[in-house]
Amino acid sequence: MPERTSYRPPFTLTPFALRLVAEISEAVGRYTVLAERGLTPQLRRENRLRTIHASLAIENNTLSLEQVSAVIEGKRVLGHPREIQEVRNAFSAYEAMPGWAPESEAALLEAHSLLMQGLVDEAGSFRSRGVGIYKGTELVHMAPPAHRVPLLVGDLLEWLSHTDEHPLIASAVVHYELEFIHPFADGNGRMGRLWQTLILRRWRPLLAYLPVETVIRDRQQEYYDTLAEADRAGEATPFIEFMLTALRDALAEAVASEPDAFVSTTQLDEPENDPASDPASDPVARLITVLATGEAGTAALMTALGLSHRPTFRKNYLAPALDGAWIEPTHPEKPNSPKQRYRLTPKAKRWLKQHPTP
């Protein structure tokens, strides 16, 4: 019997990460109860299609969600043959997921074979050459030499098979480490996201149908920036916090975006006639409307609102919107971060559905 590895991926469990684990665990409990009666086979399929569409969009696949659905249904689609093949492959891989053990190297290679068949020569095999990741002409990450890949992947999967870390933490660590090792010639991003879903599925099967990739796609630049930040730090900690935040928000959106399928406890606490279910001021409503197109920083929000006086913006717009839980910061643990941006909460998104804006 082989000796248990002493390898442990480098990361630190911060108070913020532990708080997110507690929040997600509580949300998963509510989501499970609600989903058991509301997550119909049709809705599961729709969430799976959203997952595939978002994960491929992160890799520059240009097919729309409607086109992805048509490809899966076997209909003819006007699009690039490679992009169509990517959709078929991804659907096959996600459908095969229940048969895989996340700590199995054979399963990892089989998954890559399904994801990349017909797209690369080394589908289902570790890369045979060195690889670097570039941003334009700048080298942003040099992956370990090809001859070390089997050992590094083996150590990672061995750690996964024995770790006592919470599956939320372990899944994010494995996701990051697969991006760092870059074990394949192509498809590493897709594999990292797929394998995190597989680990989460074993913890809570319903998470296999949570389209967290849609949140990552909406925060794609932050996703890449956090990977780079983790590389510079030499540990997965920043990426763990990012992925936990994405999971928390995906859970909130899954309930808020399907009012006919789910009845959230938040909605029950906010009846339609309750004054608390509407913004207390016109400035807050305007800020919500601006953020309807996506998250933004202070400067961009002030420009969109036609404001030039920062104290006025903070007093009349930002502070009341935050206090009323209409918006939230993307970096709550770093309030003064230059990367700080703001996004709508599920509560604000529900309000927008009831109050269409021009």
CB neighbour class for 256 (10 Å; exposed up to 12, middle 13-18, buried from 19):
buried
- Read off the DSSP letter of residue 206: G
Q: Which residue has the tokens 């507690």?
A: 22
The pLDDT score that the predictor gives to residue 53 is 94
The pLDDT score that the predictor gives to residue 277 is 57
* Domains (range + CATH), the chain: 15-256 (1.10.3290.10), 270-354 (1.10.10.10)
Read off the pLDDT of each residue in 297-325 and give the average, rounded to a whole number: 86
Give bridge partners of residue 139 from the DSSP assignment.
Answer: 134
pLDDT band at 334 (very low <50, low <70, confident <90, very high): confident
CB of 182 closer than 8 Å to CB of 188: yes
pLDDT tens track for 245-266: 999 998 887 766 544 444 433 3
CB of 133 closer than 8 Å to CB of 182: yes
Q: Which of 12-16, 43-47, 286-290, 294-298 has the highest mean pLDDT?
A: 12-16
Phi-psi region of 279 (alpha: psi -120 to 50; beta: other; left: phi over 0): beta
pTM > 0.85: yes or no = no
User: In whole angstroms, what is the distance from residue 118 CA to residue 186 CA?
Assistant: 12
Of the two residues 18 and 274, the one the predictor is more confident about is 18
Read off the pLDDT of each residue in 180-200 and give the average, rounded to a whole number: 95
